[in-house]
Amino acid sequence: MESDLKFVEYGNPEGKTVIYFHGAPGSPEECSIFDKHAKEHGLNIVCYDRFSIDSSLQGQDYYKFLADAIIDKANGEQVDLIGFSIGCHAAIEVSLHLETTVRNLHLISAAAPLDADNFLDGMAGKIVFSIAMKQSTIFTLLSYWQALIAKLAPSILFKMLFASSTGEDKELSKTTAFKGYITPVLTHCFNINVKGYIREITQYVIPWKESMLKCNSNTHIWHGISDNWSPVSMAHYLKENMSASANLELIAGLSHYSCLYTVVPKVCSQIAKA
């Protein structure tokens, strides 16, 4: 199955290795916005296309597969992990299999476990996550319907996803540059690997609070106060319940993607100095 694991690299190929976990929906090219700053700070940003992994790999077998790939890439060195949105779940789960290979864990606009608190009511994706939790067959049909829209009318999928945007995401979503960047990122999994996307969401909505509580990596959390995709209450929960060394930086006015855009240079600088 290793041959099925696709990945991209940005920054300096000879630099310090950093593993980026893209969102869902999302794609490896999501971390292209790190390229300039990664080059400036001597970082090699690697992002695996998690959706390209054989969909028969489920649960901890899936996370162990990713961890083994990272260990091979690290070649005996420590690595930093960056998770964005739902990618933070995968980053946390994989970190448990990496143990001392992880130098630092960086969580941006992090989605916390739904079994930890009543987060769902405050999430823009409440309907989708509720369906995934309770009606798996309907969720699968919904995902394939989104795949059809992504193929025939990607601009409509973009409008659907950002219809409820708040904070700086509202203005960001109106810019041509952001639309050009995010549309192929969001449609990637629907166009190519719907089954991988379904696995990612399904594993996110089932209980994983216990995995989060076991994570003792040195953790940095970056979150926009106006985020309604991953409500800020999720960031506070992660700060209070992850490792004792967890650090939380809240940024006023920012939402989901605007937080990602804003913290990229900060995260790269922090990793370079560690």
Q: Which DSSP string corresponds to 35-83?
A: HHHHHHTTEEEEEE-GGGS-TT--HHHHHHHHHHHHHHHHTTS-EEEEE
User: Residue 274 corresponds to which tokens in the numbers above?
Assistant: 């560690």
Q: Indicate the DSSP class of residue 242.
A: S
Residue 35 φ/ψ region, left for φ over 0, alpha for ψ in the -120 to 50 degree band, beta for the rest: alpha
Percentage of the chain surpassing pLDDT 90?
92
pLDDT at 245: 77
Q: Specify the pLDDT at position 4.
A: 62
Read off the pLDDT of residues 5-19 as tens digits, 9 standing for 90 and up.
Answer: 889 999 999 999 999
Residue 58 has which token pair? Answer: 């489920």
Judged against a pLDDT cut of 70, whether residue 1 lies above it is answered with no
Q: Mean pLDDT of all residues in the chain?
A: 94
Least confidently predicted of 4-8, 64-68, 173-177, 181-185? 4-8
Peptide bond into 25 cis (omega under 30): yes
Lowest mean pLDDT among 30-34, 56-60, 219-223, 239-243: 239-243
User: What domains sit in the chain, N to C, each tagged with a CATH number?
Assistant: 2-273 (3.40.50.1820)
Considering all CA atoms of the chain, what is the largest pairwise distance in Å, rounded to the nearest integer? 48
E-strand stretches of the chain: 7-11, 16-21, 43-48, 79-84, 102-108, 219-224, 247-251
pLDDT digits (tens, 9 = 90+) for 112-167: 999 999 999 999 999 999 999 999 999 999 999 999 999 999 999 999 999 999 99
Is pLDDT at 25 greater than 90 in this prediction? yes
Give me the pLDDT at residue 99, please: 86
Please tell me the pTM assigned to this model: 0.96
